[in-house]
Chains A and B, each alone.
Chain A
């Protein structure tokens, strides 16, 4: 048995910001991370930036991004499904993150060769999210934070909304797990969502969830979330809401991360397993559309899509990690990817015939579109007629889930009776649904994690003193 002021479940960005803030607040802190050290940090290891409000360029961020504009962007993507008080708090406090993270060892870099034009709005971590994590871990270690890897929270002792202790299981993935009771005066849940728990996903999505790829950590199985909901913490968000993009169908089941992204959709057509098109591939620029394609593909038979492009477009998008299927005729290509050659040919012919001639320019909303085709392709529509032809397979890739625990502006969990717990706090994915009811803005997951991690750590340390 051991005793700390603040016990933190989770080992990613939110957990570490909480640990650092709580330690600065005078508390003794213990972090419980379910993953081994090599896999620590949840989905933070797959991130690369956080979105932060700022009133002027700082040399790396290329221009101002005031809270008002941030707010408009958030309203647009969530369509109002957000807790306005918490959302505004997040955006206002995001302005402090550059200094907070820098002070704790994180380095930033200009956004250089990526495809997303986020240089003004998002602060990119030098070396990516794992580098950022390493810096925060070093800071936390040097501050004296106790860190247990390979350890999960297996039970929580909560009475009358008051946390007293947790049961931790060390080496839980081995044949010799050891149970350990850890008492603490505050508890911070920063253990991520439940996207790696396929059974739980199936409750919301049905059997289709079997075909989902999980882009991030396999350790986000929602164990702590389940314990909290069972203990009477109020749920926020819907179980089927998540950040889902269309990724390369050949990606590993877990942890494929950024490289499984495919940017070729606007340059070709997308067919489902029956060889039919099902959505406007050229509706808008890819960075503005990639986050809807996960759901689109999830709604198709077998949760699969096939992007077909021809030689004209091959060099226009970011290279893929897996080479595409390639053939000199559409029929051969169809056979390679398991589509009916005749249906595929018919779909391509219908598309080719509907393309009107125009000046192709993938940097603007160009005039190349289809006429009389359903669904239409609004931009960048060019007939597929130049071999070799290429095909990429799409699957829904889940980045993170939004359903979580309700919190107030002190990051305190709100119980089903509406009362705030005196010493239960939450930060990161496990409470992101308070702000992201639906939709997604690049980098906002990390912003919520850092902002609420800090708040949770500060408040947890304060709660200890009371």
Chain B
């Protein structure tokens, strides 16, 4: 097998830069990438995929680097690793044919959103009384007159199950590419902790350097709001399902129920977080943008922003005749989010957590 021919251009560029970094090592205190790099002397294939997904893109090593452009060694790890990350999501995607969905990802996701929303609106009109679209949602079961609960569960449960399956398949391909390694409870615990705290999104303690060499913690804050907002929304849906089936208590729910509290707080977090991330993205130093930028990050954040805002608007305007159409839009966004999950920036969380698990185990081995 000709290994060199199997190496992709983004992998080669990361490997080239790693050759400089591994002879320097000044950045070893910044994040997990550099201690992981020091365990290696050569960089190829799945190893550089792994190292690149360990990178949290805090930007510090670029601004700290004496070999950053215009130096002829042209070391810019955040950009090279971002390009390889995006390429690695596509290369490991399942089914393999879906890799193309990562090219012009913004377009893919926009189309998915438009089609899903249109289908939900059209479906409501076709499947039930068109008047239900303009019904208000104050009385019990109003949502489910627009769309029967079992149908909702079947459609969304199916979409989510597919998304989870396809994502797991992708991550497993990524994991195997870097070589066999056991998953231990200790490394899982460590990695989840590091992921939950975004331990490596802080420039080693100084803060992210997104705009310039002046550190700032704003990206970390917005990411936390987005991630925990998302989890709260998920918790809201899950408790709703429990209420419905176990407590036999269908929607709508009063404001003091966990369904509502989680949902509203989550929606607010998601909206502010995603909005903030978009602003931070626009402020990013041009050198930190990756060459192969297929708009993955942007498309994903816009979807999250839509998830948050459509959910919040639906909650606020539930009692008006706009409820039906708002519900259709929100459900369309949720559905599009689910089906595109394995083929967009969403997978960064899974890849990065997998990389953190590998890193935790590797580091435990050498201690």
CB distance from A172 to the nearest CB of B (A): 18
State whether A113 touches B28 (Cβ < 8 A): yes
The interface residues of chain A lying within 8 Å CB-to-CB of B72 are 252
The interface residues of chain A lying within 8 Å CB-to-CB of B206 are 107, 126-127, 131, 135
B12 within 8 A of A: no
What does DSSP make chain B's interface, helix, strand, loop or mixed? loop
CB distance from B158 to the nearest CB of A (A): 48
State whether B204 touches A258 (Cβ < 8 A): no
The stretch that binds A, out of B56-64, B272-280, B303-311, B343-351, is B56-64
B193 within 8 A of A: no
The interface residues of chain A lying within 8 Å CB-to-CB of B189 are none
Q: How far is the CA of A112 from the CA of B35 in the complex (A)?
A: 9
Within 8 A of A (CB), among B285-339: none
How would residues 54 to 77 of chain B score, 1 for a CB under 8 Å from any chain A CB and 0 otherwise? 000000110111110011110000
A321-B19 CB under 8 A given contacts A114-B25, A138-B214: yes
State whether B204 touches A128 (Cβ < 8 A): no
Closest to B205 in A: A107
The interface residues of chain A lying within 8 Å CB-to-CB of B152 are none
How would residues 46 to 71 of chain A score, 1 for a CB under 8 Å from any chain B CB and 0 otherwise? 10100000000000000000000000
Q: How far is the CA of A46 from the CA of B60 in the complex (A)?
A: 16
Contact among B24, B30, B64 with A258 in the assembled complex (CB-CB below 8 Å) = B24
The interface residues of chain A lying within 8 Å CB-to-CB of B19 are 319, 321
State whether A113 touches B24 (Cβ < 8 A): no
The interface residues of chain B lying within 8 Å CB-to-CB of A114 are 25, 28
How would residues 6 to 34 of chain B score, 1 for a CB under 8 Å from any chain A CB and 0 otherwise? 00000000000001101111111110000
Q: How far is the CA of A229 from the CA of B27 in the complex (A)?
A: 39
Within 8 A of B (CB), among A249-306: 252, 255, 257-259, 261
CB distance from B135 to the nearest CB of A (A): 58
A315-B41 CB under 8 A given contacts A255-B71, A257-B24, A320-B23: yes
State whether B26 touches A127 (Cβ < 8 A): yes
CB distance from A276 to the nearest CB of B (A): 29
CB distance from B29 to the nearest CB of A (A): 3
The interface residues of chain A lying within 8 Å CB-to-CB of B60 are 127, 131
CB distance from A326 to the nearest CB of B (A): 13
State whether B23 touches A127 (Cβ < 8 A): no
Q: How far is the CA of A109 from the CA of B60 in the complex (A)?
A: 14
Q: How far is the CA of A316 from the CA of B29 in the complex (A)?
A: 23
Within 8 A of A (CB), among B188-216: 203-206, 213-214
B129 within 8 A of A: no
The interface residues of chain A lying within 8 Å CB-to-CB of B41 are 315, 319
The interface residues of chain A lying within 8 Å CB-to-CB of B22 are 319
A388 within 8 A of B: no
Contact among B25, B63, B204, B214 with A113 in the assembled complex (CB-CB below 8 Å) = B25
Closest to B70 in A: A38
Q: How far is the CA of A129 from the CA of B63 in the complex (A)?
A: 11
The interface residues of chain B lying within 8 Å CB-to-CB of A134 are 63-64, 213
CB distance from A263 to the nearest CB of B (A): 10
State whether B204 touches A109 (Cβ < 8 A): yes
CB distance from B211 to the nearest CB of A (A): 13
Q: How far is the CA of A15 from the CA of B63 in the complex (A)?
A: 20
The interface residues of chain B lying within 8 Å CB-to-CB of A127 are 26-27, 29-30, 60-61, 64, 203-204, 206
Query: What number of A residues sit within 8 Å (CB to CB) of B?
Result: 33
Query: What number of B residues sit within 8 Å (CB to CB) of A?
Result: 31
How would residues 31 to 47 of chain A score, 1 for a CB under 8 Å from any chain B CB and 0 otherwise? 00000001100000110
A112-B20 CB under 8 A given contacts A107-B205, A257-B66: no
Within 8 A of B (CB), among A309-366: 315, 318-321
Which of A39, A255, A259, A261 has the most B CB atoms < 10 Å from its CB?
A: A259
State whether A258 touches B23 (Cβ < 8 A): yes
The interface residues of chain B lying within 8 Å CB-to-CB of A131 are 60, 63-64, 206
The interface residues of chain B lying within 8 Å CB-to-CB of A135 are 206
State whether B30 touches A259 (Cβ < 8 A): no
Contact among B23, B29, B61, B203 with A112 in the assembled complex (CB-CB below 8 Å) = B29
State whether A259 touches B67 (Cβ < 8 A): yes
A124 within 8 A of B: yes
Q: How far is the CA of A129 from the CA of B72 in the complex (A)?
A: 19
How would residues 78 to 104 of chain B score, 1 for a CB under 8 Å from any chain A CB and 0 otherwise? 000000000000000000000000000
A129-B66 CB under 8 A given contacts A138-B214, A320-B23: yes
How would residues 233 to 256 of chain A score, 1 for a CB under 8 Å from any chain B CB and 0 otherwise? 000000000000000000010010
CB distance from B204 to the nearest CB of A (A): 5
State whether B67 touches A257 (Cβ < 8 A): yes
A46-B35 CB under 8 A given contacts A127-B27, A131-B60: no
How would residues 165 to 198 of chain B score, 1 for a CB under 8 Å from any chain A CB and 0 otherwise? 0000000000000000000000000000000000
The interface residues of chain B lying within 8 Å CB-to-CB of A320 are 23
A110 within 8 A of B: yes
Q: How far is the CA of A38 from the CA of B68 in the complex (A)?
A: 9
A258-B26 CB under 8 A given contacts A38-B70, A130-B66, A134-B213: yes
Closest to B66 in A: A45
CB distance from A102 to the nearest CB of B (A): 12
The interface residues of chain B lying within 8 Å CB-to-CB of A124 are 29
Q: How far is the CA of A131 from the CA of B205 in the complex (A)?
A: 12
Ranked 10 nearest A-B pairs via Cβ? A128-B26, A109-B29, A127-B64, A131-B64, A259-B23, A321-B23, A134-B213, A113-B38, A45-B66, A259-B24
